Amino acid sequence: MTALRAPLAAVTSGLDLQTSFTTTLQGIGLTPATAHLLWLPLPMLLVLVAAVVGVLVNVWLERKISAAVQQRIGPEYAGALGVLQPLADGLKLLFKEDIIPARADGLLFTLGPVLVLIPVILSWLVVPFGQHLLISDVGIGVFLWIALSSIQPIGLLMSGYASNNKYSLLGGLRAAAQSISYEIPLALAVLAVVMMSNSLSTIDIVNQQSGAGILSWNIWRQPVGFLIFWICALAECERLPFDLPEAEEELVAGYQTEYAGMKFALFYLGSYINLVLSALLVAVLYLGGWGFPIPVEWLAGALGQSVDAPVVQVITGSLGIVMTVLKAYLLVFIAILLRWTLPRVRIDQLLDLGWKFLLPIALVNLLVTAGLKLAFPAFFGG
């Protein structure tokens, strides 16, 4: 697998907690296999907690920023500035009665939200916070995310159908149609980035953007791809202006109309995890991932420190996590502001935008990238 990848000479090793952990355990007499098994659940649980905390912060930000946009105060009683409000909401939903309508299909009704949530959590497998700070660097990286994200509309369709409610069914159908319309431009935009990195792995994609700091980020070489990806990501997350599946003026609440209690909470959690995940992936694909705007090698050199010194590695590792999160939340902030800026599109406008505008543009973008890569290989990843 590694032999197929492009050689990355200039990349520093960075913080590698897995190797330190397993060598320590082997030092006290455990076999490598046992040490590996003991290591495996740690990053997973950490990422899961990070995702949930990310959602809580996101919900709080959304409510506070929405309030600020509308000149309200927003949540303020639960904790300082209302920071505990999302947690209180979550706990409330945990104690709410679970209602399955008598005329609904009980099995599909329960399976729907579960099927929506699992793929969005699972996609965090490939989100990198540093050179070795991700759960697993599977070779297919972004492709895994795209494959997983196409499972979600099945869950939405399922819950829309199972509710036995006209509005839910229409909402579920809309969700599926919207998701398939924007999946292809999204995949084509990702393909252009993949072509520049010669790899599907998220780690290689970020490493390809390191070197000259902010100047080497993909957004400068893929401005069109960035816009396509961002529009498609908003549509896939069903964010305004693309929230047609749950347009409250037309469809009550779309596919979630009949849901209450924990199943509603699963939908809610799923959609916010998806938003944070999409923002993180935009940061990884176009904004240099964990990269600092000024290369850390230069900074360390200016301060007279070696990049491989343990202290510097811990600092750059933490800086990488902070940078990834900052970039992602900047995009979340833009998404929240877009929500209060743009009116909702109609379904025919939505489909026209996807099929008649974004798809041709994404195809042209891919071919132009391929042509430029042939003409100027040095600037487009060799």
Partner 1 sequence: MFVLPGYDAFLGFLLISAAVPVLALVTNKLLAPQSRSGERRLTYESGMEPIGGAWIQFNIRYYMFALVFVIFDVETVFLYPWAVAFHRLGLLAFIEALIFISILVVALAYAWRKGALEWS
29 to 68, contacts with partner 1 by CB under 8 A?
A: 40-41, 43-45, 48
Selected binder of partner 1 within 30, 138, 224, 338 (CB under 8 A): 138
381 binds partner 1 (CB under 8 A): yes
Least distance between partner 1 and beta carbon 305 (Å): 32
Q: Is 166 exposed, middle or buried (0-12, 13-18, 19+ CB in 10 A)?
A: exposed
> How far is the C-alpha of 119 from the C-alpha of 82, rounded, in Å?
30
Residue 7 dihedral angles phi and psi, to the nearest 5°: -65, 135
| Ranges within 142-171 binding partner 1 (CB under 8 A) | 143-144, 161, 163-169
- Total binding residues toward partner 1, as defined by CB under 8 A: 85
373 binds partner 1 (CB under 8 A): yes
| Ranges within 237-296 binding partner 1 (CB under 8 A) | 252, 257-258, 261-263, 265-266
Question: How crowded is residue 132: how many other Cβ atoms within 10 Å of its Cβ?
Answer: 18
Nearer to partner 1, 77 or 95 (CB): 95
Binding window for partner 1 (CB under 8 A); candidates: 102-110, 230-238, 309-317, 319-327: 102-110
Least distance between partner 1 and beta carbon 206 (Å): 16
Selected binder of partner 1 within 22, 110, 207, 218 (CB under 8 A): 110
Nearer to partner 1, 297 or 352 (CB): 352
Least distance between partner 1 and beta carbon 63 (Å): 22
- The encoded tokens of residue 324 equal 């990834």
Three-state secondary structure string covering 313-349: HHHHHHHHHHHHHHHHHHHHHHHHHHHCCCCCCCHHH
Task: Give which of 240, 261, 256 is closest to 340, Cα–Cα.
Answer: 240
- The encoded tokens of residue 114 equal 């579960």
139 binds partner 1 (CB under 8 A): yes
Selected binder of partner 1 within 199, 207, 208, 274 (CB under 8 A): 199
DSSP string, 185-198: HHHHHHHHHHHHHT
101 binds partner 1 (CB under 8 A): yes
Binding window for partner 1 (CB under 8 A); candidates: 67-75, 215-223, 237-245, 365-373: 365-373
Task: Give which of 326, 327, 301, 323 is closest to 312, Cα–Cα.
Answer: 301
CB 240 within 8 A of CB 339: yes
| Ranges within 201-240 binding partner 1 (CB under 8 A) | none
